Amino acid sequence: MTTILWVDDEIDHLRSHIRYLEKRGYRVLTAMSGRAALDELSKNKVDLVLMDQMMVGLDGLETVEMIRKSYHQLPVVMVTQSEEEELMDKALGGETDDYLTKPVNPSQVLLVIKRILTSDRLRSERAAEELMSRVGRLMGSSDDLIGIDDWISLYSEWMHGDVTYGSMLESDMKSVEKGRFQELALRFSRFVEKGYPEWIASEQDAPLMPHNFLRRVLPPLLQSSGEVVLLVMDCMRLDQWLVMYSEVEKWFHQRLDFMVVNLPSATPYSRNALFAGLLPRDIRRFYRQNWVDEYGSPGLNRHEPEHLRDALARIERSSRVSAEYVRVGNHREGESFRRSLSQHLTGGFLAVVVSYLDHLTHGRSESDVLKDLAPDVRSFRELALSWFQGSFLKSVLKTLAARGTTVVVTSDHGSDFCNRSARVKGARGMSSSVRFRVGHSLTAGEKESVVVREPDDWGLPAEHPRKTYVFARPGYVLMQPHMPRDDLRKFMGTFQHGGISIEEMIVPVATLVPKKLG
């Protein structure tokens, strides 16, 4: 039962109001002074305080100040006879949550209680119902009637709800409904398994993807904007961008679109495809001397500036735009970039790769401390937000907004939370990445993975007739037989990428246009 503490030195005059609340299921405690209110709080679990301002002894503002020393999150509503704006400012500045002017009627009081205590819950329940209705309709549709736009729309709604309501959204779903998300994730991987070769074969039918990103997105922006910055956040998930954007929303208007990343959803493939404007098979064909196949090897993206310049030359043959490229891997490099920002913008177009989230994702796999700090999706998201709030990047975005620069924020891939393992077998020389494997004549279970034996159909290098790619389905890491238990345990409950999941493959493309400040 929700408990209200009503503090007023003339509480007897409010008995009809109290009975009104009690009939609607609230438990109402009363106190006739600030000291009595503090005593009630020490003995009872209270959900909200209605605080009279004018009282003998401690007044309302003084009582709230004392309450906040011990109860930082307890909602307090100030109730007063004064309509002076100065007193309203003091009340709200003194950490009260709302303000009512006497005389109050019972329905006014009930409305403010519901707004503060239950509005988020009601919205969360509605969001959960609408989301599960969407899931039900999608799961009930035949595969031929579901397109990539349906998946993107559902994923966007899911992540917006999760970011807005957090644990409330999850708790409002029944266990059977949560189980449907596992079915949904598996169905998405089967959708990609069927549709991906068709996207590669037909440019017209392909969604926005890294290999077509530059030629689809950049030309209209370069023509209409004085300066354009392409910000690639390595390994950024949609939910992480949503919380980061809330920090810069006051500076930018946002148009949020989405991109489906190339497979494998990993640096040597998806990010190289983005900067080269080419499929991985064509990158290897045209830049064979630069190609590095093994994830984790040095120099995977060493040639991105060259790839970008060549791609822009193909797209904008007569353009005045020159391409500047900067990669930021740590705080020192970030501060150096922030200080020299104007120098990098002289050509009109700048591409920036920020690798912090990728370092954080892989560092979490190696560090028990980071796992404890961020054991699940929501806490990992908050860790990413905490970095962003104090980072060079937030300051850079503020500066770009002040310059009137258009910023396009995207990622080369997201990450998937993995807690299951699957075996993959093959000849010696198999790659060591855990969400995808590359080698000769590889085999793996169909339930846990997608095995690609015709790499060319997937836009992948196929320099050997037996070359095989294996992509893990959602939640799985791919392990070789006889893998030591310690190695297996290391990857359980970690965020990985390279495979086929909606969190890895659908990434935001946020076009940020500076707001005009009057």
Residue 15 maps to a domain: yes
Measured distance CA(451)–CA(191) in Å, rounded: 14
Strand ranges inside 374-466, DSSP E: 406-410, 416-418, 420-425, 436-440, 443-444, 449-452
Any residues with CB less than 8 A from the CB of 191 and at least 6 apart, and which? Answer: 143, 146, 148, 151
Under DSSP, the state recorded for 491 is: H
Nearest-angstrom CA–CA distance, 16 and 6: 13
Give the whole-angstrom CA distance, residue 149 versus residue 322.
Answer: 34
- Residue 220 and residue 328 in one domain: yes
Work out the number of other CB atoms within 10 angstroms of the CB of residue 515.
12
Domain boundary residue among 96, 117, 138?
117
Vertex 427: Cα angle to 469 and 187 (nearest 5): 30
Residue 171, pLDDT > 70, answer no
Distance of alpha carbon 236 from the chain centroid: 7
Q: Which residues contact 433 (CB under 8 A, 6 or more apart)?
A: 264, 266, 295, 296, 498
Cβ atoms of residues 239 and 159 within 8 Å: yes
Residues 311 and 390 in one domain: yes
Residue 435, pLDDT above cutoff 60: yes
Q: Could you tell me if 276 and 158 lie in one domain?
A: no
Scan for tokens 């949904």, then name that residue.
184
138 or 402, greater pLDDT: 402
Report the 3 state secondary structure along 187-239: HHHHHHHHHHHHHHHCCCCCCCCHHHHHHHHHHHHHHHCCCEEEEEECCCCHH
Quote the pLDDT of residue 193: 96
Give the integer Cα–Cα distance in Å for 412 and 358.
10
Is the domain of 143 the same as that of 266?
no
Confidence of residue 466 (pLDDT cuts 50, 70, 90): confident
Residue 383 backbone dihedrals phi, psi, to 5 degrees: -65, -45
156 shares a domain with 35: no
Cβ atoms of 210 and 259 closer than 8 Å: yes
Q: Is the pLDDT of residue 454 over 50?
A: yes
pLDDT, tens only, 32-85: 999 999 999 999 999 999 999 888 888 888 898 899 888 888 999 988 876 666
**Is residue 304 a contact partner of residue 353, using CB atoms and an 8 Å limit?**
yes
State the amino acid at position 196 in one-letter form.
Y
Domain assignment present for residue 393? The answer is: yes
| Token duo for residue 40 | 């009630």
Residue 372 included in any domain: no
β 420-425/443-444 pair status: antiparallel
Q: What is the CATH number of the domain that holds 294?
A: 3.40.720.10
478-483: average pLDDT: 83
Look at residue 74 and give its three-state secondary structure: coil
Same domain, 355 and 215: yes
Q: How far apart are CA 178 and CA 135, in angstroms?
A: 11
State the average pLDDT over residues 240-262: 94
Residues 408 and 424 in one domain: no
Q: Are 193 and 450 in contact (CB under 8 A)?
A: yes
Residue 128 lies in a domain: yes
Same structural domain, 405 and 285: yes
Does 30 map to a domain?
Answer: yes
Judgement on whether residues 422 and 402 belong to the same structural domain of the protein: no
Residue 247: pLDDT over 90: yes
Evaluate whether residue 198 is within a structural domain.
no
pLDDT in tens, 281-336: 999 888 877 776 654 455 567 789 999 998 988 886 545 557 789 999 888 999 99
One domain for residues 428 and 388: no
- The band of 90, judged by pLDDT with boundaries at 50, 70 and 90, is low
- Residue 378 has a pLDDT of 86
Residue 454, by phi and psi: left (phi above 0), alpha (psi -120 to 50) or beta?
beta
- Rounded distance, CA 120 to CA 1, Å? 17
pLDDT of residue 518 exceeding 50, the answer is: no
Beta bridge pairs of residue 4: 28, 48
Kindly state whether residue 422 falls inside one of the protein's structural domains.
yes
End position of a domain, from candidates 100, 117, 134? 117
**CATH number of the domain that residue 96 is part of:** 3.40.50.2300
| Residue from 330, 508, 510, 499 nearest 415 by CA | 499
- Band (437; pLDDT cuts 50, 70, 90): very high
Determine, yes or no, domain membership for 195.
no
- Say whether the peptide bond before residue 103 is cis (omega within 30 degrees of 0): yes
Q: What angle do CA 342, 347, 244 make, to 5 degrees?
A: 55
Name the residue range of residue 95's domain: 3-117
Specify the range with the lowest mean pLDDT, choosing from 12-21, 271-280, 445-454, 480-489. Answer: 480-489
Asked if residue 96 has pLDDT above 60, the reply is yes
Residue 178 pLDDT exceeds 70? no
Rounded alpha-carbon distances, angstroms, from residue 39 to 43, 96, 264:
7, 19, 62
Residues 34 and 104 in one domain: yes
Provide mean pLDDT across the span 442-466: 92
Phi, psi (5° rounding) for residue 201?
A: -75, -30
Contact of 371 with 493, CB cutoff 8 Å: yes
How many H helices and E strands in the chain?
22, 19
User: Does one domain contain both 222 and 244?
Assistant: yes
CA atoms within 13 A on the CB side of 303: 18
Cα 473 from Cα 475, distance rounded (Å): 6
Q: Comparing C-alpha atoms, which of 468, 442, 439 is closest to residue 455?
A: 468
Q: What is the tally of structural domains in the chain?
A: 4
Q: What are the tokens at 452?
A: 């690609």
Q: What tokens appear for 169 in the block?
A: 């959204």
Helix (H, G, I), strand (E, B) or coil at 427: coil
Does residue 235 carry a pLDDT above 60? yes
Q: Whole-model pTM?
A: 0.82
The mean pLDDT value of the chain amounts to: 87
CA distance 424 to 438: 10
Tokens for 70, please give them: 């011990």
- Tokens 């690798």 belong to which residue? 355
